[in-house]
Amino acid sequence: YQDHPLPIGEEQTISQPYIVAFMTAQLQPQLEDRVLEIGTGCGYQAAVLAGLVREVYTIEIINPLAQRAQADLQRLGYNNVQVQSGDGHSGWPNPESFDAIIVTCAPDHVPPALIAQLKEGGRMVIPVGPLHHQLIYLLQKINGEMNQQALIPVRFVPLTRNKIKLEQPE
């Protein structure tokens, strides 16, 4: 019953309940929406959205978290959620367009792939900035341009990227 982040394993945290509710409200989800979430974590935000929209697509870079979230969501009967393990900077692996996008980890800038996957008129809620200077932004795509509004200061785990390990010649 406490309003603070909690550890979920793999050195990650779930956002405090207030922030989950705030970001969901700012997204203004509609019953027929297809929503993309970047940063599945334990699957809590996806579960919240699943009760509000038609389909949720969620991507998590840490494979054990993605697998656990997928198993938990299936076990709990969330049949309108698809979970993928992958790099959220690139958006959903099969380029789709979404009515709304919510990002639950903080990049240093808005990834262009997410803008490309947002439908005209669509809304995106995303924390942006370095660890101690992040703001949640509400973005809306109007006539192909992104209108933005800074909302509140926050502190999220960073949006990480897959790194390709190259073998060094001997």
Just list the catalytic residues.
15
E strands within 15-78?
Answer: 34-38, 55-60
Show the tokens assigned to 43: 């699957």
Is-contact 37 104, C-beta < 8 A?
Answer: yes
Write out the two tokens for 118. Answer: 């947002």
CA distance 157 to 149: 21
Q: Can you say how many angstroms the Cα of residue 120 is from the centroid of all Cα atoms in its chain?
A: 19
- Residue 70: partners with Cβ closer than 8 Å, 6 or more residues away: 43, 83
Closest CA to 14 of 46, 51, 42, 49: 42
